[in-house]
Structure 1
């Protein structure tokens, strides 16, 4: 089992010391959240809160994801940074390929490219991208990122994007894992066709149902290679629980030590955050 430390929407000055502390404590990775802007009004619901409320996002410090990944990669040597998750369809895929390829090439392939669709139509409006058919657009984005990060000449002719033969350098020495976030059937099917799935949280029964669907969709897609399953679960906080998750095929657990859906700024001191991640490493990571 691999352990990923989750912290987001906190004081921007905390990220570098937290990444250093997580690496020193033995974590394999750290998640990095993505948000472009906060619209004043929206009819959309946040998919991972019980009532769909999004107010906890207002006034939170959200460093641009690639900028943050670059800064944290530069002060660590082994920690992997998993985007959780990048709102892919609102971005130009060739630019994402350049950013991701450069990051992976510079920092020893320590990028997990978690991607998803944004639930906010306002994100699409802000970036000048149609909200309709965002799933199909995302599939094309993934194809383009895979092709352009090989370092070889690549061309693409799709419904939304048309790229003549071109190549990018530098290129990573290994393919960048593309991990799909989301609980909807479309997201699970997309994950089954790619390199892994990122769970958004929920109870154990719901997780079991999602894992069963994911296994079925992988079988239908004929997917048999390496596959990452990143999960948020209460079982991740005990050695016995880790064994239960391993038996279900989970490869990575995401652990955090505060409730992220609280309105207002994060008031937890940096020293407390570091003590919490170190305590978990002593009690759980060192035991499994």
Structure 2
């Protein structure tokens, strides 16, 4: 079982020392939150809270995801970086490919690229991308990411994108894992058919079990039951040794753990020292015992 440390919506100055602390404590990965901007007026709802409230995001400091990954990779040697998740659908796929392969190359293949659809129509408007057909557009974007990050000449002729034979270098020495986020049936199927794994955004244990069952069903339907596949989940089970082993038995490859609720208004008041204590305690009492 691998463990990922999640800390988001905190003081940006904390991220580099937290990445170093997580690496030293034995975490496999660290998540990187992604957000572009906050509109003054919006009717949009946040899909992963009970009320749909998104006001907790106002005035939160988001460092651009690839910039943060580059900064973290320069002061670490082992820990992997997981955008959780990059809003691919509103970005130019060729630019994302160049950014991702640059980070992967410089970090010695330590990028797992979590990607998904933005739930905010305002993001699409801000970036000049149509809201309509966003799922189909993202399917093409994934194909383009795969092709351009290979380092070989690649061309693409789709409904939304048309790319003449093009090469990007330097390419990482290993393919960048594409990890698809989202809880809809379309997102789960996209993860199985086009991704190397799935990223769970949270929820209760019953809902997680349903999502994992559905992933298994789709794999069988598509003849991909034996396909190597990363499954990244958030679960209270991960906070005990027995629970983490239950997750492992269920086929989960990576447990994402955090030690505070990020969906709160106002600044994070927890000091850096306390955050380090939390992640070290978990490593000593769970990670070391699960994998010892």
Residue 247 of structure 1 and its aligned partner are, at CA, apart by 1.1
1:217-273 deviations in Å (ceiling 9; x for gaps): 112222232100000000000000011101110000000000000001111000000
The match for 1:262 is 264
The match for 2:187 is 187
1:169-209 deviations in Å (ceiling 9; x for gaps): 00011111000111110100001111000001111111111
The match for 2:216 is 215
The match for 1:247 is 249
1:77-96 deviations in Å (ceiling 9; x for gaps): 00000110000010000000
Q: Secondary structure at the match of 2:146?
A: helix
1:43-72 deviations in Å (ceiling 9; x for gaps): 111000001000110100100000000000
- Range with bigger deviation, 223-232 or 57-66: 223-232
The match for 2:28 is 28
Residue 100 of structure 1 and its aligned partner are, at CA, apart by 0.5
CA distance in 1 between partners of 2:24 and 2:182 (Å): 30
- The reply on whether 1:130 has 2:144 as its aligned counterpart is no
Q: Secondary structure at the match of 1:176?
A: coil
Q: Normalising to structure 2: TM-score of the pair?
A: 0.98
Residue 6 of structure 1 and its aligned partner are, at CA, apart by 0.1
Q: Secondary structure at the match of 2:112?
A: strand
Q: Secondary structure at the match of 2:261?
A: coil
CA distance in 2 between partners of 1:36 and 1:60 (Å): 11
The match for 1:176 is 176
1:103-161 deviations in Å (ceiling 9; x for gaps): 11111110010001001000000000001110011111100000001110000001111
Residue 2 of structure 1 and its aligned partner are, at CA, apart by 0.2
- The reply on whether 1:196 has 2:197 as its aligned counterpart is yes
Q: What is the CA RMSD across the aligned residues, in angstroms?
A: 0.6
The match for 1:275 is 277
The match for 2:114 is 114
Q: Secondary structure at the match of 2:279?
A: helix
CA distance in 2 between partners of 1:109 and 1:218 (Å): 27
The match for 2:56 is 56
Q: Secondary structure at the match of 1:273?
A: helix
Q: Secondary structure at the match of 2:9?
A: coil
CA distance in 2 between partners of 1:181 and 1:133 (Å): 17
CA distance in 1 between partners of 2:174 and 2:15 (Å): 26
CA distance in 1 between partners of 2:112 and 2:221 (Å): 25
Structure 2 portions without partners, runs of 5+: none
Structure 1 portions without partners, runs of 5+: none
